[in-house]
A and B are shown apart, each in its own frame.
Chain A
Amino acid sequence: MAPEAKSGIVDRLRNIDRRIIFIFVAASVVIPLMFPLGLPLKSSPPSRALFQEIESLQRGSVVLMAFDYDPATEVELGPMSLAILKHCFRKGHKVVGLALWPQGAGLARATFSEAGSDYNVKYGVDYVNLGFKAGGLVVIDSLGKSFHESFPKDVDGTPLEDLPLMKNINTYADIDFVMSMSAGDPGLPFWIMMAQGRYGKKVGGGCTAVSAPMLYPYYPNQLVGLLGGMKGAAEYELLVGEKGAATKGMDAQSIAHALIVLFVIIGNIFYFVGKRRAKRGGGVI
């Protein structure tokens, strides 16, 4: 093949229409969802630690769970919230839900409903949803003084005194374990700072894959366990023994990740080919 023709192909591939890349990405996600590969999954130490912590709590323990995310990250944090709630209900733990993100309260409601449908749990007795409160770090700190002052009513406007579960819960002293499903700020770092650092409670939780590296420094001393992204959610589903949306998404994530790695390698090959050609021809790359 003539050198001109070769360089033409290299140039064309280097500047490939991004829509072609989009088609590959779409196919890498859709095809494994339609035809699962069933790639084996194993759990990581931070996921196992979180599972063990909930597993080791006594029946009837109170778990505070913050839904600090919005629909944008629901795909990652929704499945892990659901798996953790199911685990809590199965073990007979009581769950107090709240949200530091406005949309978190609505997502909490849907997750509680879905998790509760599989177990004999009752709203107000086995779990409550306190709803959203603006203020982030300050809200977390104020819970150390009084849950009833910070959240006088639940998400539906029911006074906390009317909810049997909340009659004996007023400060962190009444909580056995704190968790945050965190998509950013306010989220897990704030809970670690206040609930763990100031009030000495054990804190665990989940986060998006992109924010997991930032939270690793807290594990395992200040953060007893961590689920990172959809993989973390799938690992928890594996540990709980209930395959859900995250497990189903693992094949798609695997192929999409492999495809992106492949794109980077191909992009670099063309980069070095172009660089060598420019060097020979005295051009600039």
Chain B
Amino acid sequence: MRREIPLIITFVCGITMIVQFFIPHEPFGSMKSYFQQSYMIIAAFAMILGICNLTKLHVNKIRYKRPHWGYSIVLLAGLAGMTIPGLFVGAIKEGGIFDFLFKNVHVPMQSTMFSLLAFFVASASYRAFRARTLDAALLLVAGFIVMLGRAPIGDAMTSFLPEGGQMSDVANWIMAVPNTAGQRAIMMGAGLGVVATSLRVILGIERSYLGGD
């Protein structure tokens, strides 16, 4: 029954959500609403579960002095430092401790982490982007045009050309025509894949989400 009950729940929920899309009347309307509320509650609990799991993982790392366990102390201190003020000291209201930490610690740190990507992209581009084949060369040239065209320097470099033929115009064309054509093909393929996988899950053919083979 440990496998059958989740399969039945999945089947009923899946079929109900499909049916209500085509027949948005009672009882399907109420059922959809009930499932949506349940989903949002489960999603919220999933975040709590994630926090508990993260805490457990790092507490164990510190307890058994696993490699780099010192970072786990920093992580748990950060977690407690944001959670305690958020829950108990002035909540998340503007001007509170949480708000102060969010604006002055969390935001700058996360922005900094993300901005470091620029350095690695530059280093990787120097070493890895090679025009080994004609396809790769075309990709590189398109990349150059879009990179320069998506910044004012592209137009500054091609300012001698008439309006409509400058770098940003060519970059916009690449984005709007070849890129859109390719993306649409990918999206249609992915969409069909989603339909097929969803049906497999609803009908109980695909069971990997249950944790088994």
* A→B interface (CB under 8 Å): 16, 18, 21-22, 24-26, 29, 39-42, 44-45, 70-75, 102-103, 105-107, 109-110, 113, 133-136, 138-139, 141-142, 145, 149-150, 155-157, 209, 212-214, 216-217, 219, 228-229, 231, 250-251, 253-261, 263-264, 266-268, 271
Contacts and interface: CB of A to CB of B under 8 A. Distances in A.
B208 interface: no
Contacts of B179: 213, 216
A264 B40 contact: no
B172 A25 contact: no
A217 B187 contact: yes
Nearest to B157: A258
Contacts of B175: 212-213, 216
Interface in B129-149: 129-131, 140, 143-144, 147-148
A246 B76 CA distance: 35
Given A71-B107, A263-B126, A264-B125, A138 B39 contact: yes
A257 B39 contact: no
A229 B43 CA distance: 29
A228 B126 contact: no
Contacts of A73: 114
A225 B180 CA distance: 15
A72 B118 contact: no
Contact of B140 (A142, A255, A264): A264
Contact of A253 (B94, B151, B183): B151
Interface of B: 33, 36-37, 39-40, 43-44, 46-47, 91-94, 99, 102-103, 106-111, 113-115, 118-119, 121-123, 125-127, 129-131, 140, 143-144, 147-148, 150-156, 168, 172, 175-176, 179-180, 183-184, 187
Contact of A40 (B107, B147, B156): B156
A71 B108 CA distance: 7
Given A71-B111, A103-B106, A24 B93 contact: no
Which of B130, B152, B155, B180: most chain A Cβ within 10 A? B152
A71 B110 contact: yes
A198 to B, nearest CB: 8
18 contacts: A22-B119, A25-B119, A75-B115, A107-B107, A113-B94, A134-B46, A136-B43, A142-B36, A142-B40, A155-B92, A157-B91, A216-B176, A253-B151, A258-B153, A260-B147, A261-B148, A263-B122, A264-B126
B150 A229 contact: yes
A267 B129 contact: yes
A22 B122 CA distance: 8
Given A41-B152, A253-B151, A263-B122, 16 more contacts: A21-B119, A39-B152, A39-B155, A71-B106, A71-B111, A103-B102, A109-B99, A134-B43, A134-B44, A217-B180, A217-B184, A256-B118, A256-B122, A261-B144, A261-B148, A264-B129
Given A141-B36, A228-B150, A156 B94 contact: yes
Nearest to A113: B94
A25 B130 contact: no
B150 A268 contact: no
Contacts of A102: 47
A209 to B, nearest CB: 7
A264 B144 contact: yes
A223 to B, nearest CB: 12
Contacts of A253: 151
A37 to B, nearest CB: 9
A266 B36 contact: no
A39 B156 contact: yes
B139 to A, nearest CB: 11
Given A39-B153, A255-B153, A138 B126 contact: no
A271 B136 CA distance: 14
Contact of B121 (A105, A134, A138, A260): A260
A102 to B, nearest CB: 8
A75 B108 CA distance: 10
A22 B33 contact: no
Contacts of A145: 33, 36
Given A106-B92, A138-B36, A257-B150, A18 B123 contact: yes
A268 B119 contact: no
Contacts of A107: 107
Which of A75, A156, A157, A263: most chain B Cβ within 10 A? A263
